[in-house]
Amino acid sequence: MDRKAGMSDSWWWRVAMAAVGMVLGAATLVGCSAGDAGPVVLAFDTGAEGAGEDRAAAVECSRASGGRYTIQQRTQQSRDTDDQRLQLARRLAAHDSGLDIMELDVIWTGEFAQAGWILPYPGELARQIEQGTLRGPLETGIYQGKLYAAPLSTNTQLLWYRKDLVPHPPTTWDEMIQMVEGLAARGLPHYIEVQGARYEGLTVWFNTLLTSGGGSIVSDEGDVQVARGNAARQALGVMSRVATSRAADPSLSVSNEPDGRLAMEAGKAAFEVNYPDVYVSMYPPGSDGGGGTFIDQAGRPTSRDTGRRVGDVFGWAAYPSVAVDKPARVTIGGINLGVSTTSRHPAEAFEAVQCLRSRDNQLRGAVDLARPPTLVALYDDPAFQKRYPAWQAIRDSLNSASVRPETPAYKSISIVISDLLNPPAKINPDTVVGLLGEQIAKAVKSQGLVP
């Protein structure tokens, strides 16, 4: 080796080390510059429905942080909750660090927590949330004793009925079916609008009837309970009687919540079990009265010139029970807020959640979107009570509510139930109970349909 070649090796080594030092130094400067450039940016991923209200909350909470962070609201493309779940699951499974705060359907808590995709709320913050939140909605965010999702809004079904057709709202399903038979015999609107299509709404109907009779689908430990006792057979009997009586809308087997709402507004139905947003649809903001089709004095659809609107006689009451001595335990829904395990700013994200679910933001969601709030204090507020006429019935329902099983396998369970119970007119309680037990046991073992 000549001297020139030896000097070249040493020189290139020194140059390389100097370059590494320059790169590391530049990286340090860039890191400092990025940290000093502005506040932390928190991504707030929400559903399409209510995106405007979520965006307004993000702006207000960013301002309230005093410049420590900015919340950037991002709307998921799909309005379908299953698609939203799939999109989030794929990103979380891929360890996407661009996720901070997420709106979560209440049925995702167990799956997302078990998969390690959302963080449990720190002890003191969890206690603060628990102290001011209605118990029913709070349970939807708890998995294995820890709070993983903070309730933002909740939802519960009520019985909505025509006050001009029945003297008082029924208290049980059997009483309601008897009322329907009388209305049908007189040629009056008489359908009971329920969710009978093969989807989550059918599972919710069954779960409400099941828990109202003292049963459950699975235990807190994940053991299959649906075939134990008489509650499932009783629940299926109610569904069968509705579907095979004159109470059944001809489209029952494909009916969902919007279908029931439209049937009531059109004057076809006497009853519907549905969520509070049907009230907003019947009495849209800025309207001068109730909405819906015009009806005559007998309650039948008629022309504008000779009748009044269905909305003029639209009332609400407690969800009917399966037995006289057992109040209904309605299956609740809603939206919770979770913090991603991949978030680079979890402390700020947890702080922001408290603002996003504040009194003012929950009030906006209740009034503009008919999303019932989860804060106890709001239901005691006279201003809220005035703007939310059905508040007492909603609160009473939430206080005795049931939740869907907090298990990672819930999605599989729901698919099994809605498949076996559709169409409702074909339900045979004596045979379906056993099938439900067998199929749900298989679904539990699958531990959900995690992508």
- Distance CA(217)–CA(210), nearest Å, equals 8
Task: Domain ranges for the chain, please list them.
Answer: 40-154+333-399, 158-330+407-446
Q: Show the tokens assigned to 316.
A: 């609400």
pLDDT, mean over the chain: 89
Helix (H) or strand (E) holding 20: helix 3-36
Q: How far is CA 103 from the centre of its chain?
A: 10
Q: Which residues contact 293 (CB under 8 A, 6 or more apart)?
A: 265, 266, 267, 301, 309, 310
Report how far apart, in Å, the C-alpha atoms of 57 and of each of 152, 315, 362 are. 12, 32, 9
Q: How far apart are the first and last CA of the chain?
A: 60
Asked if residue 356 lies in contact with residue 101, where contact means CB atoms within 8 angstroms, the answer is yes
Q: For 235-246, what is the mean pLDDT?
A: 98
- Between 24-33, 113-122, 263-272, the lowest mean confidence (pLDDT) is in 24-33
Nearest to 366 by CA among 291, 286, 275, 288: 275
The pLDDT value given to residue 447: 54
Domain 158-330+407-446's class? alpha beta
Q: Is 17 helix (H, G, I), strand (E, B) or coil?
A: helix
In this predicted model, what pLDDT tens digit does every residue of 387-426 receive, in sequence order?
889 999 999 999 999 999 988 999 999 999 999 999 999 9
- Torsion angle, alpha carbons of 137, 138, 139, 143, to 10: 130
Nearest to 149 by CA among 107, 121, 124: 121
- Between 25-34, 215-224, 266-275, 389-398, the lowest mean confidence (pLDDT) is in 25-34
Question: In b/e form, how buried is each residue of 147-181, taking b as 16+ CB within 10 angstroms?
Answer: bbbbbbbbbbbbbbbbebbbeebbbbbbbbbebbe
The pLDDT value given to residue 4: 34
Q: Show the tokens assigned to 20.
A: 């590494």
Q: Do domains 40-154+333-399 and 158-330+407-446 have the same CATH topology?
A: yes
pTM here is 0.88
The pLDDT value given to residue 23: 35
CATH architecture of 40-154+333-399: 3-Layer(aba) Sandwich (3.40)
pLDDT exceeds 50 at position 351: yes
- Distance CA(149)–CA(336), nearest Å, equals 5
The pLDDT value given to residue 13: 32
Nearest to 338 by CA among 83, 118, 95: 118
pLDDT exceeds 60 at position 1: no
- Distance CA(146)–CA(235), nearest Å, equals 31
In this predicted model, what pLDDT tens digit does every residue of 18-59 receive, in sequence order?
333 333 333 333 333 334 446 799 999 999 989 999 999 999
Please state, for a pLDDT cut of 90, what percent of the chain lies above it. 78
Asked if residue 247 lies in contact with residue 183, where contact means CB atoms within 8 angstroms, the answer is no
> Tokens 């009030």 belong to which residue?
363
Half-sphere exposure of 352 (CA within 13 A, CB side): 34
Asked if residue 156 lies in contact with residue 278, where contact means CB atoms within 8 angstroms, the answer is no
Confidence band for 197, pLDDT divided at 50, 70 and 90: very high
Nearest to 271 by CA among 178, 139, 148, 387: 178
Q: Is 414 helix (H, G, I), strand (E, B) or coil?
A: helix
Q: Show the tokens assigned to 131.
A: 């102290």
